A and B are shown apart, each in its own frame.
Chain A
Amino acid sequence: MTWETVIGLEVHVQLSTKSKLFSGSDITFGAEPNTQANIFDLALPGTLPVFNESVLKMAVKFGLAIDAQINKKSVFDRKNYFYPDLPKGYQVSQLDYPTVGPGSLEIKLENGLEKTININRAHIEEDAGKSLHEDYQGMSGIDLNRAGTPLLEIVSEPDLRSAEEAVSYLKKLHTVIRYLDISDAIMAEGSMRCDANISVRKTGETELGTRTEIKNINSFRFVERAINHEARRQIELIEDGSSIAQETRLYDSELDETRPMRSKEIANDYRYFPEPDLLPVIIDDAYIDAVRDELPELPEEKKQRFISQLKLSEYDASVLVANREIADFFEKVAIATKDSKAAANWVSQDMMGLLNKNNCSILETTISVERLSKLILRIKDGTISGKIAKSVFDLMVSDSSNVDAIIKEKGLEQVSDTNVIDRLVDEVIAANPSQVEQYRAGKEQVIGFLVGQCMQRSKGKANPSQVNSLLKEKLS
Chain B
Amino acid sequence: MIEKTVVELASALSTGSVSSVELTRAFIDRITTIDTQLNAYITVDEQEALKQAKEADEARARGAHSPFLGVPIAHKDLFCTQGTKTTCGSKMLQNFVSPYDATVVARLKDSGAVTLGKTNCDEFAMGSSNENSFFGPAYNPWGKNRVPGGSSGGSASAVAADLCAIATGTDTGGSIRQPASFCGVTGLKPTYGRVSRWGMVAYASSLDVGGPLAKTAHDAAVMLNAIAGHDPKDSTSVAVSTEDYTQSLDAPLTNLRIGLPRQYFSQDLDPRVAAIIQETARNLENLGATLVDIDLEKSTLSLPAYYVIAPAEASTNLSRYDGVRYGYRCEDPLDLEDMYTRSRTEGFGNEVKRRIMIGTYALSAGYYDAYYKKAQRIRRLIKQDFSKAFENVDAILSPTSPFTAFELGAKKDPVSMYLEDIYTLGVNLAGIPGISIPAGFINGLPIGAQLVASDFREGLLLNIAHQYQQNSDWHKQKPSMPMGV
Which residues of A does B touch, CB under 8 Å?
39, 42-51, 78, 80, 82, 84, 87-90, 140, 142, 264, 269, 271-273, 276-279
Contact A46 B99 (CB under 8 A): no
* C-alpha gap A3/B452 in the complex (Å): 68
B30 → A minimal CB distance (Å) = 29
The residues of B that contact A39 with a CB separation of less than 8 Å are 99-100
Known: A45-B86, A45-B201, A84-B336. 12 other contacts (CB 8 A): A42-B325, A44-B80, A46-B79, A46-B86, A46-B201, A48-B234, A80-B363, A84-B322, A88-B319, A89-B316, A276-B313, A277-B236
Residues of A within 8 A of B324 (CB): 84, 87, 142
Q: Given A84-B324, A279-B235, are A46 and B316 neighbors across the interface (CB < 8 Å)?
A: no
**Cα of A140 to Cα of B337 in the assembled complex, Å:** 13
Chain B residue nearest to A140 in the complex (CB): B336
Other-chain contact of B325, A43, A78, A278, A279 (Cβ < 8 Å): A43
Q: Chain A binding site: helix, strand, loop or mixed by DSSP? A: loop
Q: Are B201 and A271 in contact (CB under 8 A)?
A: no
Kindly state whether residue B206 has any CB partner on chain A within 8 Å.
yes
12 A-B residue pairs with CB within 8 Å: A39-B99, A44-B99, A46-B199, A46-B200, A46-B201, A82-B322, A142-B324, A271-B360, A271-B368, A276-B204, A276-B313, A277-B205
A88 to B321, CA, bound (A): 8
Instruction: Identify the B interface with A (CB < 8 A).
Output: 79-80, 86, 88, 93, 96, 98-100, 102, 197-202, 204-206, 232-236, 312-313, 315-316, 319-320, 322, 324-326, 336-337, 340, 360, 363-365, 368, 372
Instruction: Report chain B residues within 8 Å CB of A48.
Output: 197-198, 233-236
A-side contacts of B313, CB under 8 Å: 276
Q: Collect the chain A residues with CB atoms within 8 Å of residue B205's CB.
A: 276-277
- In the complex, are the beta carbons of A46 and B319 less than 8 A apart? no
**Nearest 8 A-B pairs (CB), nearest first?**
A89-B319, A276-B205, A271-B363, A276-B206, A46-B199, A43-B320, A45-B201, A46-B80
A150 CB → nearest B CB, Å:
16
In Å, the complex CA distance between A42 and B100 comes to: 13
Which residues of chain B are near A272, meaning CB under 8 Å? 363, 368
Q: B122 → chain A, closest Cβ, in Å?
A: 16
CB distance from B324 to the nearest CB of A (A): 5
A47→B102 CA distance, assembly (Å): 9
| Known A-B contacts A276-B206, A276-B313; A90 and B319 likewise in contact (beta carbons under 8 Å) | yes
Min CB–CB distance B348 → chain A (angstroms) = 13
CB atoms of A78 and B100 under 8 A apart:
no
Q: B360 — which chain A residues lie within 8 A by C-beta?
A: 271
User: Across the A-B interface, how many residue pairs have beta carbons closer than 8 Å?
Assistant: 98
Please name all residues of chain B whose beta carbon is closer than 8 Å to the beta carbon of A90 when the two chains form the complex: 316, 319
Of A39, A276, A277, most buried by chain B (CB within 10 Å of CB) is A276
Residues of A near B322 (CB, < 8 A) are: 82, 84, 89
* Bound-complex Cα distance A239 to B44 (A): 74
Nearest CB on A from B482, distance (A): 34
Residues of B within 8 A of A43 (CB): 320, 325
Could you say which residues of chain B place their CB within 8 Å of the CB of A88? 319-320
A45 lies within 8 A of B312 (CB) = no
Assembled-state Cα–Cα distance A46/B196 (Å) = 11
Give Cα distance in the complex from A45 to B98, angstroms. Answer: 8
CB contact under 8 A between A46 and B364, given known A82-B322, A277-B236:
no
**Nearest chain B CB to A19 CB, angstrom units:** 14
**Distance from B386 Cβ to chain A, minimum over Cβ atoms (Å):** 20
CB distance from A231 to the nearest CB of B (A): 30
Expressed in whole angstroms, the Cα–Cα distance for A473 and B312 within the complex equals 96
Q: Which residues of A contact B98 (CB under 8 A)?
A: 44-46
Contact call B197/A273, Cβ cutoff below 8 A: no
Complex CA–CA separation, A39 to B99 (angstroms): 8
Shortest beta-carbon distance from A269 to chain B in Å: 5
Which residue of the partner chain A has the closest CB to B204?
A: A276
Question: CB within 8 A of A50: which of B86, B201, B233, B316?
Answer: B233
> What's the minimum C-beta distance from A127 to chain B, rounded to whole angstroms?
17
> For residue A78, which residue of chain B has the nearest CB?
B316
Closest A-chain residue to B324, C-beta based?
A84
The minimal Cβ–Cβ distance linking A96 to chain B, given in whole angstroms, is 11
Q: For the complex, what is the distance from the CA of A279 to the CA of B204, rounded to whole Å?
A: 15
Q: Which of B206, B235, B320 contacts A45 (CB 8 A)?
A: B320
Query: Is the beta-carbon distance between B235 and A80 smaller than 8 angstroms?
Result: no
**B337 nearest CB neighbor, chain A only:** A264
Among B315, B319, B337, which residue has the most Cβ atoms of chain A within 10 A? B319
Q: Which residues of A contact B100 (CB under 8 A)?
A: 39, 44
**Cβ of B235 and Cβ of A87 under 8 Å apart?**
no
Q: Quick check: B364 and A271 within 8 Å, CB to CB? A: yes
